[in-house]
Amino acid sequence: PNMSSQRVLVCLCGLVTLILPVLATFRGIEGNYCLQRGRGDECCRGRIDECSVPILGTMCYCDVFCNRTNSDDCCPDYWEVCLGLEPIRPTRPPEDLKSCYHNGKYYSFGETAMINCNKCKCSLSSNYPAQTEFLCETNRCIIEDDLINAVNAAQLGWSASNYSKFYGKTLNDGLLYKTGTLEPEVSVKRMFPIQKNYDPSSIPRSFDSRTKWPGKIQAVMDQGWCGSSWAFSTVSLASDRLAIQSEGNEILHLSPQNLLSCNNRGQRGCEGGYLDRAWNHFRKYGVVEERCYPYLSGYTGTIESCQIPHRANTFQLECDGQRIQMNKKDDIHYAQPAYRISENANDIMHEIMTSGPVQATVRVHHDLFLYKNGIYHPSNMSPTDRTSYHSVRIIGWGEEYINDYPEKYWLIANSWGEDWGENGFFRVRRGTGVIDVEKFVIAVWMESLQSKRQ
């Protein structure tokens, strides 16, 4: 055969040295080349220049000369077809790794992350498929830096703060689970307030129930993530009034969980309740102490089952770690019918200074969650006007000069823990109808165990 000077078979002592190729020009190109040539197995065993196949505008070979180190002109499937070797597929260079950049941080393609209260994901752009986007949910969050900064810059007489316990929570969650009082029904709103006779000049410019009745006013509690303000404000007010009426003989912490779990008819548990139904239940079935019926719903998000049978006179509860036999006469505390105070600020103040704190229904705006100190009124700076009803205790009032002008306020005990606001309290403008604070105010007299035994 006519052998090209460039294709030389190296023979040594009758032994053909087999050397697998290290690098080939055509390696990695897929297709059948040697397999489709017309001379069958003759090319693999021979030294025939005509055993060539067109490829990429030139020729590649399928003869025995390919079995040498320098095999740049061999067809890509020679070793598989002629030598029966597994094809060596070249490693393709990896595609460019797609990523997203958001607020100074890179996120890999497909990665998810929580940004405050919104779930985000690095995804392909719907408009530009070759690009990525960091796509996030659009929930309004309780904590929003823009709102905090706007309130503080406006110098409204109160300041806002970032509360870590609210971070990552949606505003919807806050309005549902950090409030929890349902708007009174029309028939309840028509309830006539009691008539008061007093000298308006007897009302001081400031008053704090904690000062007049030291040790008898309930501390601020935390309802957790359960819309149970209807139960918390009710039992806290009942505890205040019972301690005041009994002249300190019955200073008790009554159980919000008892009311929440057992007053379930017509109520919505952790999604809200009616105050009038809470007081009716309190009057008919009563409530035990917190130490015997501890609060759990703020952590579980459920109302739990009622542990006190309505019809049985005796029952057992675990009080301070010890199982105790109890009876309804000596261990349950009852309320008398609740009564309404008029919207007149003087009437409300007179009731507080003579009988103790009162219960009020307020409208919670977005920015109230951010309140740190000062005399609150809505900033109207939130992009949403969604609100929710909440019930609290008014324990006093006062005045404070802001920009050389006396600002009157109510002193209110909230149920969001002592790490919120002014040690759990907040002050709100008085006598202006702000957040409906004077619109529906309730008071009550309790039945003390001492009077029952007499």
Q: Which of 103, 264, 390, 403 is catalytic?
A: 390
Strands (DSSP E) contained in 320-424 are 322-327, 334-335, 339-341, 358-364, 371-376, 388-402, 405-413
Report the C-alpha gap between 61 and 55 in whole angstroms: 10
Phi, psi of 284 (to 5 degrees): -85, -40
Give buried/exposed letters for 263-291 (b at 16+ CB in 10 A, else e).
bbeebebbbbbbbbbbbbbbeebbbbbbe
Strands (DSSP E) contained in 198-321 are 207-208, 314-319
Rg of the chain's alpha carbons, rounded to an integer? 40
Residue 22: CB atoms within 10 Å: 9
Q: Which two tokens stand for residue 411?
A: 């002193």
Report the C-alpha gap between 181 and 179 in whole angstroms: 6
Identify whether 249 is a catalytic site residue: no
> 369, 225 in Cβ contact below 8 A?
no
Q: Which residue has the tokens 């890509």?
A: 76
Residue 101's contacts (CB-CB under 8 Å, 6 or more residues apart) are 107, 134
Q: Which two tokens stand for residue 93?
A: 């260079």
> 376, 428 in Cβ contact below 8 A?
yes
Residue 107: CB atoms within 10 Å: 17
Identify whether 333 is a catalytic site residue: no
> 118, 168 in Cβ contact below 8 A?
no
Q: Which two tokens stand for residue 276?
A: 């009038």
Q: Which of 327, 380, 414, 423 is catalytic?
A: 414
Q: Which two tokens stand for residue 230?
A: 């209807």
CA 214 to chain centre: 37
CA distances from 34 to 24, 37, 38, 66 (A): 15, 5, 9, 12
**How many CA atoms lie within 13 Å of 226's alpha carbon, on the beta-carbon side?**
26
Q: List, by residue number, the catalytic residues.
A: 390, 414
